[in-house]
Amino acid sequence: MGRRKRSTLSRISLLFLFAGAIGAVAFWGCEKTSHEKRETRKEVPPPHPAHHPPATHSGPRLAIIIDDMGNNQAEDDPVLALPFPLTVSILPHHPLSSEIANEASSRGDEVMLHLPMESESTTTPSESVELRVGMSAKEVQSIFAGMLETIPHVSGVNNHEGSKATADPALMDALMPALRGDNLFFIDSRTTASTVAFDAARHYGVPTASRKVFLDDSLDAKAIRDQIELAARDADRDGDAIAIGHPHTETVTALRETLPGLRKRGLQLVFASDLVH
């Protein structure tokens, strides 16, 4: 190869090396700029209320479950802002199901699946996906697994509606092994006096308990405070109690106003999982 040809090839090689170096600088510069932009958009999480851990001293224990979460951000946020240990029960397959579960968990609350089940009522709106009487065990387990996929951090389950479903032994026999397989507890919301859910859970070795008081069947402020007091008296008498409410403004206000006084009386606020057996 002649000297002139080798010289020309050397110049071409140098040009390629120079162009490559410029490209690399540009690339890393863009990467840094992009990273810096991502960092400036990063949101700072809000401070966590003092939800966790619950009190550990001896005395009556009260667990408060807030049902129907995951459906309305404006209603759910005030619940999550309450500075008390709460168990939030979240409806599956809703736009906010996962988001509310993550937020509740990050703030130290306990997360449950609010499991839609068939109601005896013909006027009560049903969820688009729910457990219904007559489903096979395979259908029940598949639907249940799909619900869990929409809600992270779940430690237990309670029924949403379900006055017909929880009274059906075959349906409860199909459900409870799925809970046991996922190491979940079950709270019977007791939407019917004919429920067999508690007994089925015990039969299959699923840790369980039952609701004693509904807080907000009436949205009258005094009525809600009276129900909170009733739940506290049940806990004083029996050693523990589970109360269920909903993310209504009236309920949140009543809890904010009354729970500090109950604590001063020696009542422990605990999670639902603390009361199952």
Q: Which tens digits make up the pLDDT trace of 173-223?
A: 999 999 999 999 999 999 999 999 999 999 999 999 999 999 999 999 999
CB of 159 within 8 A of CB of 193?
no
**What is the number of structural domains in the chain?**
2
| Residue in 229, 216, 225 with CA at minimum distance from that of residue 254 | 225
Token pair listed for 32:
């840094």
Mean pLDDT of 154-159: 98
| Residue in 46, 66, 47 with CA at minimum distance from that of residue 269 | 66
* Cα–chain center distance at 141: 20
Looking at the DSSP bridge assignments, the partners of residue 243 are 64, 213
CB of 57 within 8 A of CB of 268?
yes
Look up the domain containing 177 and give its range: 61-275
Q: How many CB atoms lie under 10 A from the CB of residue 129?
A: 13
Q: Is residue 26 part of a domain?
A: yes
Name the average pLDDT for the chain.
86
Q: What is the pLDDT of residue 113?
A: 98
Q: Is residue 121 part of a domain?
A: yes
Contacts (Cβ under 8 Å, ≥6 apart) of 238: 60
Q: Is residue 236 part of a domain?
A: yes
CB of 100 within 8 A of CB of 112?
no
Q: Is residue 4 part of a domain?
A: yes
Cis check: omega of the bond before 46, within 30 degrees of 0:
no
Question: 3-class SS at 105?
Answer: helix
CA distance 133 to 127: 15
Q: Is residue 13 part of a domain?
A: yes
pTM beyond 0.85: no
Mean pLDDT of 99-110: 97
Question: 3-class SS at 184?
Answer: coil
CATH number at residue 248: 3.20.20.370
Q: What is the pLDDT of residues 127-138, one digit of tens each?
A: 989 999 999 999
* The amino acid at 148: L
In terms of domains, do 93 and 216 share one?
Answer: yes
Q: What is the pLDDT of residue 15?
A: 47
Token pair listed for 186:
């079950």
Q: Is residue 99 part of a domain?
A: yes
In terms of domains, do 237 and 205 share one?
Answer: yes
Question: 3-class SS at 21?
Answer: helix
Q: What is the pLDDT of residue 57?
A: 60
In terms of domains, do 80 and 209 share one?
Answer: yes
DSSP state of 243: E
